[in-house]
């Protein structure tokens, strides 16, 4: 997400001139009656300054949202699709939203896929036995019950494998591609199994998609191509990938044993959790905010994406607590099954297909809240200008602009269906991807200040977009 500083500068410049013109007119008018009349409104935003102040003071004043995230992650732990933990967390969230006084709180039923990891391990057999930390990749098939023993082949990339294709037959292929960015490196997690299988390999290992951590493997979703055999796939830590690469370079011969008991079971029943602050003038128009309540089956899903659920939900709780009711409806959705199916986002789109175009804005928080916070936006230029104005109210939170490019996996289906502008609120990607999909994704990494800041930012943006007379990004025809 790059910051688009240049696009709104001319706009602000013009705006300032208009403002001084309006001021002069107002002063001339006032001069005819009284020398000290009321100050003219110098910006459409001024009416919202006291609200923003109150929201930020309240949110920063108590660690309510951090405590709620602690309760969610301590009580229910990991919340993988198809698990009892996830369903208990969903029912808890529904009950808590009702306790907050949110309106129209309900569950929207969704069927979700169910993949179960089972028992798994990986060890070096030759030259000297040694166990390695690993995590099977979501969607992978199992190995035979007593495991799979084969020689290792380390490659640096898909191209590297293709250039040594005759070496891969019958081997366990490790893709040791260093992490650059998530969007670039994730292809190894997604596609390594089929690339290795097409070269005749018996299993695929991938260097985890994340920076060098604390010898932590990162799990995540993988996908099989139709036309090649399905072979087991697992992630190992960056450190172990480097170790295996050095061993192969030095000794030539390394043998591994991989055991995975993974299973794909029939779909399970789950639900999206929905709560609202109903609009007082145009309740049918919706500002949607949310995150996903499911997580991977390791860690406690604090950063991905318990915190996204909590900060978007907190935005509505703050509005309720401060008696703020905007013109339009603000709706929070805690989506189910983002991680291994996106059924929550797709189910939401299907359930609200007829109201898709009534969504004014959809904002998702699904990349952490590690400082510094960033807001991103995708939609008509006019919307970016308005949001950049709103961002000037967020400087106390460490945000002063809105970058070009924003969205989220769960909100994309409804956004596409209704041509809805999208926003994302996220944090420092380096900290986020160090713990992403690992046992280390726990609340200890996240400060209460970071959670409070994110919640306040979402509350201010969502409230103003829901309340301003003009629909966000309207007049797109003139763009």
Mask: binding to Zn ion, 157-196, rule CB under 5 A, as x and -? Answer: ----------------------------------------
Asked if 450 is an active-site residue, the reply is: no
**By rule CB under 5 A, what count of residues binds Zn ion?**
3
Nearer to Zn ion, 45 or 346 (CB): 346
Pairing assessment for the beta strands 359-367 and 263-277 based on DSSP bridges: unpaired
**How far is the first Cα of the chain from the last one, in angstroms, to the nearest whole number?**
23
Alpha carbon distance 376, 209 (integer Å): 23
Q: Are 92 and 306 in contact (CB under 8 A)?
A: no
Site residues for Zn ion, 275-304, by CB under 5 A, read: 304
Among positions 87, 195, 239, 305, the unique one binding Zn ion when judged by CB under 5 A: 305
| 441 sits near Zn ion (criterion: CB under 5 A) | no
Alpha carbon distance 218, 256 (integer Å): 20
Catalytic residue among 276, 338, 364, 450: 338
Distances (CA, A) of 205 to 79, 135, 188, 213, 315: 25, 10, 9, 18, 41
416 C-beta neighbours (distance < 10 Å), count: 12
Give the list of residues 6+ apart from residue 220 with CB closer than 8 angstroms, or none: 137, 138, 186, 189, 209, 235, 296, 339, 437
> Smallest distance from the beta carbon of 210 to Zn ion, in angstroms?
13
Nearer to Zn ion, 195 or 366 (CB): 366
Alpha carbon distance 396, 368 (integer Å): 19
Nearer to Zn ion, 96 or 304 (CB): 304
Tokens of residue 450, six digits:
């970071």
Q: Among residues 333, 311, 282, 261, which one has the least CA distance to residue 104? A: 333
Site residues for Zn ion, 341-370, by CB under 5 A, read: 366
> Smallest distance from the beta carbon of 292 to Zn ion, in angstroms?
6
> Smallest distance from the beta carbon of 303 to Zn ion, in angstroms?
9
Nearer to Zn ion, 176 or 216 (CB): 216
> Smallest distance from the beta carbon of 366 to Zn ion, in angstroms?
4
Q: Are 346 and 411 in contact (CB under 8 A)?
A: no
> Smallest distance from the beta carbon of 139 to Zn ion, in angstroms?
16
Positions that interact with Zn ion (CB under 5 A): 304-305, 366
Q: Which residues are catalytic?
A: 338
């Amino acid at each position: 997400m790059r910051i688009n500083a240049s696009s709104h500068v001319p706009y602000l410049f013009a705006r300032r001139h208009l403002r001084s013109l309006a001021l002069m007119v107002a002063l001339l008018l006032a001069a005819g009656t009284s020398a000290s009349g009321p100050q003219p409104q110098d910006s459409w935003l001024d009416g919202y300054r006291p609200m923003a102040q109150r929201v930020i003071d309240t949110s920063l004043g108590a660690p309510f949202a951090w405590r709620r995230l602690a309760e969610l992650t301590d009580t229910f732990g990991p919340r993988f699709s198809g698990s009892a933990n996830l369903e208990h967390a969903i029912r808890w969230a529904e009950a808590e939203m009702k306790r907050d006084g949110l309106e129209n709180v309900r569950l929207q039923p969704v069927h979700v896929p169910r993949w179960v990891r089972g028992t798994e391990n990986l060890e070096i057999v030759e030259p000297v036995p040694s166990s390695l930390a690993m995590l099977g990749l979501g969607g992978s098939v199992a190995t035979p019950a007593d495991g799979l023993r084969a020689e290792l082949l380390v490659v640096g990339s898909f191209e590297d494998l293709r250039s040594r294709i005759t070496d891969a037959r019958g081997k366990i292929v490790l893709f040791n591609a260093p992490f650059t960015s998530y969007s670039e490196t994730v292809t190894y997690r997604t596609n390594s199994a089929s690339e290795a299988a097409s070269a005749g390999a018996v299993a695929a290992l991938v260097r985890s998609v994340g920076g060098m951590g604390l010898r932590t493997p990162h799990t995540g979703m993988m996908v099989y191509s139709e036309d090649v055999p399905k072979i087991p796939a697992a992630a190992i830590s960056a450190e172990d990938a480097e170790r295996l690469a050095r061993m192969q370079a030095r000794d030539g011969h390394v043998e591994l044993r991989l055991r995975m008991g993974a299973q794909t079971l029939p779909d399970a029943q789950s639900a999206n959790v929905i709560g609202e602050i109903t609009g007082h003038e145009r309740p049918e128009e919706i500002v949607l905010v949310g995150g996903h309540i499911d997580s991977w089956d390791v860690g406690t899903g604090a950063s991905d994406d318990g915190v996204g659920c909590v900060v978007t939900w907190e935005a509505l709780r703050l509005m309720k607590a401060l008696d703020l009711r905007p013109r339009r409806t603000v709706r929070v959705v805690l989506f189910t099954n983002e991680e291994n199916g996106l059924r929550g986002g797709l189910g939401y789109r299907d359930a609200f297909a007829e109201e898709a175009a009534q969504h004014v804005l959809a904002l998702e928080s699904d990349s952490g809240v590690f400082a510094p916070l960033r807001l991103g936006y995708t939609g008509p230029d006019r919307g970016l200008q308005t949001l950049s104005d709103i961002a000037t109210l967020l400087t106390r939170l460490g945000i002063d602009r809105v970058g070009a490019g924003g969205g989220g996996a769960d909100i994309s289906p409804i956004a596409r269906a209704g041509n809805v502008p999208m926003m994302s609120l996220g944090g420092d990607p380096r900290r986020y991807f160090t713990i992403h999909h690992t046992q280390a994704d726990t609340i200890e990494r996240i400060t209460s200040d970071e959670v409070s800041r994110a919640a306040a930012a979402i509350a201010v943006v969502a409230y103003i977009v829901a309340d301003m007379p003009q629909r966000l990004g309207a007049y797109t025809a003139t763009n």
